[in-house]
């Protein structure tokens, strides 16, 4: 077993936290560059010769788990990325550089074919085995000439059938502009037929895009206060490198269902710009209101809560089914957690810190055995075009938490008892009906 034990889990304020210490994170896979399972050696050579495969241009970013497979996303920010979605086995004894298998197939990853995947930044897999893929449709986003190949879309792939057919749902260009949008991350809320809440960190028109599966409608909510990069947090210092990334809202997480005073079911959505020290929250009921976005920003802002600051910036984050949030602190080479039933300002806990192994935490996922996985990808080198193929650039770390993803959180039923407010509201309605009736009689 070539597992590298690496992190002395530094549990901050352990005295206040008599709960179990988390297991250390271990490296389960690591790569210098990403290679693939090719149909034949000649294919690989053909792709290499034509610069359709440039090993140092392939970065792993997103991660998800389904039935002993780890799904990885490979956003086509540079040229030479032959596939944008792929998987590897979740269990394997050898930690070094497993080859990635394009998913669903090589041909389903063909650039320029709008029945195929173009640019996948992140995915989510719901409890029915459906993959929700964010396909931006535009490739070469970090090159001089980004190219819009296909409309930005939600792509659904049903893993249960075994056929892995691609169902592409283009998003409307007035909501998600094909030339400027950047669909970054999503959470899936399974209620009422399924919704996705998506961060669009477009430099021109950032916001949270809501996609409702039942009628395939989508809309965007904007708030320049909580969804924009803040200039004082745009500089990242990590592993001796400094990089300026004034990137808008990015990480997103979804809390457990809860019952409101009115007996309705709601959930909290957490998000943060990449260039920010703040964590924000908004209730899902606000996002799901398909008329609020049409009003001015202030209608949205009135519902945004600033939960407080963190020591450093965060890229991806993930919540478990009990409401524990896991997130990276990039400038501190730290993985942190926060119990969302407590005050964010004083209850963030460091669960791992290591300057050699935790170099840019990108995304998290859970498996079905209580493990959490983290992708570490040295993004700062990638965006500066300084990837050294002689060093380990990408790692997947794993630790046991005993928990599962928010996707498997408990379903709560709304209570029917009308609250005093509802009673008051219906009284007002009947009163105004009465007035109308009187007006009619008097006319």
Ligand X SMILES: *[C@@H]1O[C@H](CO)[C@@H](O)[C@H](O)[C@H]1NC(C)=O
If one asks whether residue 202 binds ligand X (CB under 6 A), the answer comes out as: no
If one asks whether residue 332 binds ligand X (CB under 6 A), the answer comes out as: yes
C-beta of 112 vs 311, nearer to ligand X: 311
Between CA 360 and CA 241 the distance in angstroms is 12
Minimum distance, C-beta of residue 255 to ligand X, in the bound complex (Å):
9
Q: Strands of 182-267 (E only): list them.
A: 183-189, 195-200, 207-212, 217-221, 235-238, 241-244, 249-254, 258-259, 265-266
If one asks whether residue 49 binds ligand X (CB under 6 A), the answer comes out as: yes
C-beta of 78 vs 286, nearer to ligand X: 286
> Which of 73, 40, 44 is CA-nearest to residue 58?
73
Which position among 40, 214, 291, 430 is part of the footprint of ligand X (CB under 6 A)?
Answer: 291
If one asks whether residue 15 binds ligand X (CB under 6 A), the answer comes out as: no
Minimum distance, C-beta of residue 150 to ligand X, in the bound complex (Å):
12
What would the DSSP string read from start to end of 374-431?
EEE--HHHHHTT---TTS--EEEEEEE-S--BGGGPPP-PPP-PPPHHHHHHHHHHHH
- How many Cβ atoms from other residues are within 10 Å of residue 194's Cβ? 17
> Which of 64, 117, 111, 59 is CA-nearest to residue 88?
64
Closest residue to ligand X in the complex (CB): 331
If one asks whether residue 52 binds ligand X (CB under 6 A), the answer comes out as: no
Query: Both ends of the chain: CA-CA distance in Å?
Result: 88
Stretch binding ligand X (CB under 6 A), from 20-28, 38-46, 151-159, 366-374: 38-46
Between CA 52 and CA 312 the distance in angstroms is 37
Minimum distance, C-beta of residue 165 to ligand X, in the bound complex (Å):
28
Give 3-state DSSP helix, strand, coil % of the chain, rounded to 5.
Answer: 15, 35, 50
Structure tokens at 30: 């690591």
Minimum distance, C-beta of residue 158 to ligand X, in the bound complex (Å):
28
Minimum distance, C-beta of residue 188 to ligand X, in the bound complex (Å):
19
C-beta of 49 vs 430, nearer to ligand X: 49
Length of the chain (residues)? 443
Backbone angles phi, psi at 110, to 5 degrees: -75, 125
If one asks whether residue 322 binds ligand X (CB under 6 A), the answer comes out as: yes
Between CA 421 and CA 404 the distance in angstroms is 36
Sequence-distant (6+) residues with CB within 8 A of 323 are 255, 256, 339, 340, 341
If one asks whether residue 321 binds ligand X (CB under 6 A), the answer comes out as: no
If one asks whether residue 341 binds ligand X (CB under 6 A), the answer comes out as: yes
Which position among 18, 162, 193, 240 is part of the footprint of ligand X (CB under 6 A)?
Answer: 240
Which position among 96, 143, 239, 426 is part of the footprint of ligand X (CB under 6 A)?
Answer: 239
Between CA 151 and CA 149 the distance in angstroms is 7
- How many Cβ atoms from other residues are within 10 Å of residue 99's Cβ? 12
Which residue bears the tokens 């179990």? Answer: 20
Minimum distance, C-beta of residue 249 to ligand X, in the bound complex (Å):
15
If one asks whether residue 224 binds ligand X (CB under 6 A), the answer comes out as: no
If one asks whether residue 173 binds ligand X (CB under 6 A), the answer comes out as: yes
Structure tokens at 257: 């269902």
C-beta of 44 vs 158, nearer to ligand X: 44
Minimum distance, C-beta of residue 117 to ligand X, in the bound complex (Å):
20
Among positions 251-270, residues that touch ligand X (CB under 6 A) are: 260, 266, 268
Stretch binding ligand X (CB under 6 A), from 118-126, 163-171, 242-250, 335-343: 335-343
Stretch binding ligand X (CB under 6 A), from 110-118, 131-139, 281-289, 360-368: 281-289
If one asks whether residue 126 binds ligand X (CB under 6 A), the answer comes out as: no
Stretch binding ligand X (CB under 6 A), from 204-212, 334-342, 404-412, 418-426: 334-342
Minimum distance, C-beta of residue 391 to ligand X, in the bound complex (Å):
6
CA angle 362, 367, 370 (to 5 degrees): 110
Site residues (vs ligand X, CB under 6 A): 1, 19, 42, 45-46, 49, 93, 148, 173, 177-179, 239-240, 260, 266, 268, 281-283, 289, 291-292, 295, 299, 303, 305, 311-312, 322, 324, 331-332, 339, 341-342, 356
């Amino acid at each position: 077993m070539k597992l590298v034990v690496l992190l002395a889990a530094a549990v901050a304020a352990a005295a206040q936290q008599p709960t179990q210490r988390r297991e250390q994170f271990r490296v389960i896979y690591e790569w210098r560059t990403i290679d693939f399972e090719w149909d034949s050696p000649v294919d690989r050579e053909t792709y290499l010769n034509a610069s359709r495969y440039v090993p140092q241009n392939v970065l792993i970013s997103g991660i998800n788990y389904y039935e002993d497979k780890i799904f990885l996303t490979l956003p086509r920010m540079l040229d030479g990325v032959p596939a944008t979605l792929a998987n590897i086995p979740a269990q394997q004894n050898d930690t070094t550089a497993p080859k990635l298998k394009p998913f669903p197939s090589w041909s389903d990853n063909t650039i320029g074919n709008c029945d195929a995947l173009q640019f996948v930044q992140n995915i989510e897999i719901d409890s029915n085995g459906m993959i929700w893929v964010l396909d931006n449709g535009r490739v070469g986003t970090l090159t001089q000439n980004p190219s819009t190949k296909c409309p930005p879309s939600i792509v659904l792939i049903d893993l249960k059938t075994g056929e892995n057919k691609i169902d592409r749902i283009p998003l409307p260009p007035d909501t998600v502009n094909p030339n400027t949008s950047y669909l970054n991350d999503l959470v899936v809320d399974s209620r009422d037929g399924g919704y996705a809440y998506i961060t669009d960190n477009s430099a021109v028109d950032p916001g949270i895009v809501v996609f409702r599966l039942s009628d395939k409608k989508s809309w965007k909510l904007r708030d320049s206060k909580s969804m924009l990069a803040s200039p004082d947090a745009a500089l990242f210092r990590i592993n001796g490198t400094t990089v300026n990334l004034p990137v808008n809202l990015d990480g997103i997480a979804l809390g457990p269902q809860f019952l409101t005073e009115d007996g309705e079911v709601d959930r909290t959505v957490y998000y943060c710009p990449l260039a920010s020290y703040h964590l924000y929250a908004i209730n899902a009921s606000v996002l799901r209101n398909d008329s609020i976005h049409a009003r001015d920003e202030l209608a949205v802002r009135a519902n945004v809560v600033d939960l407080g600051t963190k020591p450093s910036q965060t890229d991806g984050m993930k919540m478990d089914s009990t409401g524990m949030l896991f997130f990276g602190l990039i400038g501190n080479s730290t993985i942190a957690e926060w119990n969302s039933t407590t005050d964010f300002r004083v209850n963030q806990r460091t669960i791992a810190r290591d300057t050699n192994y935790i170099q840019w935490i990108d995304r998290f996922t859970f498996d079905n055995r209580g493990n959490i996985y983290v992708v570490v990808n040295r993004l700062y080198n990638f965006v500066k075009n300084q990837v050294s193929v002689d060093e380990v650039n990408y790692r997947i770390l794993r630790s046991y938490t005993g928990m599962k993803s928010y996707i498997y959180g408990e379903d709560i039923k709304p209570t029917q008892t009308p609250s005093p407010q509802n009673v008051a509201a219906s009284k007002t309605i009947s009163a105004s009906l009465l007035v109308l009736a009187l007006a009619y009689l008097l006319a």
